[in-house]
Amino acid sequence: MNIRNIAIIAHVDHGKTTLVDKILHHTNVFRDNQETGELIMDSNDLERERGITIFSKNASVQYKGVKINVIDTPGHADFGGEVERVLKMADGVILLVDAFEGPMPQTRFVLQKALALNLKPIVVINKVDKANCRPDEVHDSVFELFFNLDATEEQLNFPTYYGSGKNGWFNDSLTQSEDITPLIDGILKYVPEPKIAEGTLQLQITSLDYSTFLGRIAVGRIARGSIKENQPVSLMKADGTIKKTRVRELYVFEALGKKKVTEVLAGDICAVVGIEDFGIGDTIADFDEPEALPIIPVDEPTMNMLFSINNSPFFAKDGKFVTSRHLRDRLMKETEKNLALRVLDTDSADSFMVYGRGILHLGVLIETMRREGYELTVGQPQVILKEVDGKKCEPYETLVVDVPQEFASKVIDLVTRRKGEMLIMETKGDMQHLEFEIPSRGLIGLRTQMLTGTAGEAVMAHRFNDYKPWKGPIPGRNNGVLIAKENGTTTGYSIDKLQDRGFFFVDPGEEVYKGMIIGENNKPGDLVVNPNEGKKLTNMRASGTDGATSIAPKTLMTLEECMEYIQHDECIEVTPNNIRMRKTILDEEERKRQQKVMKADSVG
């Protein structure tokens, strides 16, 4: 059977998942009267809420007698581990580029991986119906990017399609076509059929699925040979060991689901059930004469966080899983399918060090766990340091900011204060395009400041670059915090009297505890306040004589914003219903003692 394997790659928010929707609709995957909604492939609740793709997914469609396996990939740099693996399953890529923004850092990263694997590229310039779009300039900058990445003569001769995924048309010129037929015809024309080598079975596991009934499911593309149901096979692991096992069931992808089959031939992507203890990159090979495929390298994590059990006074108030055993089992289970994640035990039985690709990568894990009913405490994110040639080195990232011209100086000031260096400054339409090289530490907390300083107009993107020498201390949060003095319920009377001290993260009537962070101080330095004080009512002062209090609503912060906000002596309490910031040491006297000890140590 004719097969084409194609991955869709792009920077975050350039329209990959919308394009997959249009391909699924155009090839009649759904009944005419079927309600499908939008962003069909983003099936996870978190993906739908955030409007981003987190996990790569497979679908397949039939078109003109050809089976097209479509792989939707994440566009965010924190999930680069997903992209690196799944490109191994493809023979061609659709590189999607926004007609206004042009190539972005993640575009460069995924394209570099695709060209290195010698995949056939098709460039699609999306959103040509947007105001200020510049498709011709973007086409030139894409060509320049290919050239800079040492693309071959054949790769430089890429076909280009223009269109609007939202409006459902793509054409090989800027004239509007009726639908996306020209693009799907282009996939059949330009993407080669899978190259199949002669020899016995070889299937590299590039992804995994999980089912409560079937357990862990290995997903990959058959490089050569064929695989059958109940066939005895060898599992060749990354450490060189070979394990004899048997295939229990086989599935191929059909539309958005899987179809059970008895045999799959080389070139197709399939899911294998029944293999135990496999890892990503392992090879399923012939039983008698096994040969392994090269291991898939995955970029190392750049950030770590301490995950601990919840030890606040509100422990186990709204979580189902609260013990260290629950926490450890859940984190270990996550490492089975989340390649870029590492979990290490610490000196304490209640704490684990978790390593990931960035704040969003770790944030998505924490958010998923709290929705499953876990309670935990997480510390401040820290970058991972390495020693290179005897020097202390830290991770650096390429940061790209597009911002209206009047805010450009503000952005440059914010980034240079955090040890960033400007590499490129150019004008794109009404926007200023700025590129910096900045230590990863400098990015923690930068997004909030950037959006405040540019009235929400800045568009930020960053991508891990390399390890370079340590840049010295970077200033953290400017202001201190307001800390609750004792356990109790906040009152409107008390918060009203404290409003001139700063702004609050709690409303009247909320339960707080000693050591909990309830607001931000207007000045540097922390301030312990009592938000629970009630109004003294006497005969002289009846309840209605004072003017009604006017309290500003509390400032709501997302999990990622809290992770960027906290300092080294603070942590976040995460439960299914609440996200609270607190001091690691809740008792004020104990905190002061600790500070004295630390000062004495630093002087000594």
Query: According to the model, what pLDDT value does residue 576 have?
Result: 92
Asked if 164 and 63 sit in the same domain, the reply is yes
Asked if 458 and 512 sit in the same domain, the reply is no
Asked if 37 and 145 sit in the same domain, the reply is yes
What phi, psi does 524 have (nearest 5°)? -65, 155
Q: What's the chain's average pLDDT?
A: 83
Query: Which residue's structure tokens are 């793709």?
Result: 53
Distant-in-sequence, close-in-space partners of 110: CB < 8 Å, separation ≥ 6: 9, 10, 73, 80, 83, 87, 95
Asked if 138 and 259 sit in the same domain, the reply is no
Q: Which domain holds residue 271?
A: 202-285
Query: According to the model, what pLDDT value does residue 446 have?
Result: 84
Q: Residue 22: give its domain's CATH number.
A: 3.40.50.300
Question: In the numeric block, which tokens belong to residue 562?
Answer: 């809290």
Query: Which residue's structure tokens are 């390399």?
Result: 466
Is residue 372 assigned to a domain?
Answer: no
What phi, psi does 368 have (nearest 5°)? -65, -45
Distant-in-sequence, close-in-space partners of 271: CB < 8 Å, separation ≥ 6: 209, 217, 218, 219, 250, 251, 252, 253, 258
Contacts 24+ apart (CB under 8 A), 420-423: 423/398
Question: In the numeric block, which tokens belong to residue 114?
Answer: 């695709």
The per-residue b/e assignment along 50-73, b for 16 or more CB within 10 angstroms, e otherwise, is bebbbbbbbbbbebeebbbbbbbb
- For residue 101, the 8-state DSSP code is T
Asked if 497 and 438 sit in the same domain, the reply is no
Is residue 488 assigned to a domain?
Answer: yes
Query: According to the model, what pLDDT value does residue 23 have?
Result: 79
Asked if 243 and 280 sit in the same domain, the reply is yes
Q: What's the rounded Cα separation, in Å, for the pair 185 and 15?
A: 20
Asked if 68 and 112 sit in the same domain, the reply is yes
Q: What is the dihedral of CA 531, 533, 534, 540, to 10 degrees?
A: -130
Which residue spans within 56-112 are E strands per DSSP?
57-63, 66-72, 92-98
Asked if 34 and 166 sit in the same domain, the reply is yes
Q: What's the rounded Cα separation, in Å, for the pair 259 and 575?
A: 39
Is residue 475 assigned to a domain?
Answer: no
Is residue 345 assigned to a domain?
Answer: no
Dump pLDDT digits (tens) for 512-531: 999 999 999 998 889 999 99
Q: Is 388 in a helix, a strand, or coil?
A: strand
Query: According to the model, what pLDDT value does residue 175 have?
Result: 82
Contact 90, 5 (CB under 8 A): yes
Q: Give pTM, 2 decimals.
A: 0.78
Dump pLDDT digits (tens) for 365-422: 998 898 899 999 999 999 888 888 888 999 998 888 888 889 999 999 999 988 999 9
Please state the residue numbers annotated as binding site.
Answer: 13-18, 126-129
Query: According to the model, what pLDDT value does residue 558 have?
Result: 86
Q: What's the rounded Cα separation, in Å, for the pair 458 and 452?
A: 9
Dump pLDDT digits (tens) for 121-177: 999 998 888 777 888 888 998 998 888 888 888 888 989 999 888 888 888 888 888
Cβ burial of 254 (10 Å; 0-12, 13-18, 19+) is: middle
Please state the residue numbers annotated as binding site for GTP.
Answer: 13-18, 126-129
Query: According to the model, what pLDDT value does residue 36 have?
Result: 39
Asked if 131 and 55 sit in the same domain, the reply is yes
Asked if 9 and 129 sit in the same domain, the reply is yes
Query: Which residue's structure tokens are 């008698």?
Result: 288
Q: What's the rounded Cα separation, in Å, for the pair 315 and 198?
A: 60
Query: According to the model, what pLDDT value does residue 238 have?
Result: 78
Regions in the chain scoring below 50 on pLDDT: 30-44, 47-48, 50, 545-548
Is residue 413 assigned to a domain?
Answer: yes
Domain C-terminal end among 422, 439, 469: 469
Which whole-number Å values give the CA distances from 132 to 85, 161, 429, in the listed order? 35, 19, 7
What is the CB neighbour count within 10 angstroms for residue 321? 18
Q: Residue 540: give its domain's CATH number.
A: 2.40.50.250
Domain C-terminal end among 190, 211, 227: 190
Asked if 418 and 450 sit in the same domain, the reply is yes
DSSP string covering 200-242:
S-EEEEEEEEEETTTEEEEEEEEEESEEETT-EEEEE-TTS-E
What is the CB neighbour count within 10 angstroms for residue 377? 23
Dump pLDDT digits (tens) for 60-103: 888 888 888 888 777 665 566 667 677 888 888 888 888 888 88
Residue 238's Cβ-side half-sphere holds a number of Cα atoms within 13 Å equal to 11
Q: Count how many domains the chain has.
A: 4
Contact 365, 334 (CB under 8 A): yes
Is residue 308 assigned to a domain?
Answer: no
Question: In the numeric block, which tokens belong to residue 68?
Answer: 């097209």
Q: Residue 450: give its domain's CATH number.
A: 3.30.70.240
Asked if 428 and 492 sit in the same domain, the reply is no
* Residue from 201, 247, 258 nearest 226 by CA: 201
Is residue 139 assigned to a domain?
Answer: yes
Percent of the chain with pLDDT over 90: 18
Domain C-terminal end among 469, 500, 532: 469
Is residue 117 assigned to a domain?
Answer: yes
Q: Residue 212: give its domain's CATH number.
A: 2.40.30.10
